[in-house]
Amino acid sequence: MTDSPIISVRDLRKIYHAGDVDVHALRGLDFDIRRGEFVSVIGPSGSGKSTLFHILGGLTPPSAGSIVLDGNDLVRMSDAGRTRLRKKTVGFVFQKYNLLPTLTALGNIEIARYIAGERGPVGPEFERLIDLLGIRSRLNHKPRSLSGGEQQRVAIARALVNRPAIVLADEPTGNLDTENSMAVLSVLRDLNKRLGQTILMITHNPEAAAYGDRVIHMRDGRIEPPGLAV
């Protein structure tokens, strides 16, 4: 069980229909991700990185191919099934943090638990996570009074609070200065090493990509060099 990949993608294709033109965003991807891996995805703008994450995270269905994510077949999944996937199985971290501005940091984390159907009090792992992220003293502040780095660490706490099988981080340091970027990246590496959290991270920055165990290069909707990336 532990040896079977947590993500297995075969010949994944995605075509967007924008007006009359078909945009081939993904042109046949093959790769596996093992449980507990921290993988960086790097590639030029428009190469389909975000599209891949949106499909893995159940925000949009694939056009063709097969994807098995933590035992779930994403190709055959209904809208409701993909909603369920987003609740429990994946956690998103975005470039623009995407915290709800009307709620406090803690409120943002709590609403993710609430949506996932968790009602009881948080466990000790959560307390450990908060300390690891160094945001304990910021929990009762609204996003607007937090720095970018703090907001991103709150967003990471939100992504992890439901103990998802994988975390999908789309350019998590894209809006941060070097210092905050390094803080966020080392937090991600800590989470991966200490909690065994599987992480996929998109980045444009080779230095950031080096924090991962391995790098997947994308270009024009394909992985290069061609072949099964494992």
Partner 1 sequence: MTNKLVFENLKHRPVRTLLSSLAVGVQVTMILTLVGISHGMLEDQAQRARGMGADISIRPPGSSAIGLSGNFDERILPFVARQPHVALATGVLIAPTGPLTSITGLDFPAFARMSGRFRFLEGRAIQNPGELIVDEYYAREHKLHPGSQVTLLGRAWTVCGVFEQGKLARIIAPLDVLQRLTANSGKLSIIWVKLDDPARTNEVIDSLKRAGLADYQIWSMEELVSQMTPNSIPVLRTFTAVVIGLGVVIGFLVVFLSMYTAVLERTREIGILKALGASPGFIVGILLRETALLAVIGTFAGIALTYGSRWLIMNLVPGSLTQTIVPGWWPIAGAIALAGSLLGAVYPGLKAARQDAIEALAYD
Ligand X SMILES: Nc1ncnc2c1ncn2[C@@H]1O[C@H](COP(=O)(O)OP(=O)(O)OP(=O)(O)O)[C@@H](O)[C@H]1O
16 binds, among ligand X, Mg ion, partner 1, none (CB under 5 to 8 A by kind): ligand X
Tell which one of 6, 29, 42, 51 touches ligand X (CB under 6 A): 51
- Smallest separation (angstroms) from ligand X to the CB of 67: 16
7-18/64-69 β-pairing: antiparallel
Decide: is 48 part of the binding site for ligand X (CB under 6 A): yes
Tell which one of 50, 173, 180, 192 touches Mg ion (CB under 5 A): 50
18 binds, among Mg ion, partner 1, ligand X, none (CB under 5 to 8 A by kind): ligand X
139 binds, among ligand X, partner 1, Mg ion, none (CB under 5 to 8 A by kind): none
Decide: is 131 part of the binding site for partner 1 (CB under 8 A): no
Nearer to ligand X, 43 or 149 (CB): 43
178 binds, among partner 1, Mg ion, ligand X, none (CB under 5 to 8 A by kind): none
Decide: is 92 part of the binding site for partner 1 (CB under 8 A): yes
Residue 215 has a CB neighbour count (10 Å cut-off) of: 16
Q: How many residues sit in the footprint of partner 1 (CB under 8 A)?
A: 27
Beta carbons of 149 and 111 less than 8 angstroms apart: no
Residues in contact with ligand X by the rule CB under 6 A: 16, 18, 23, 25, 43, 45-51
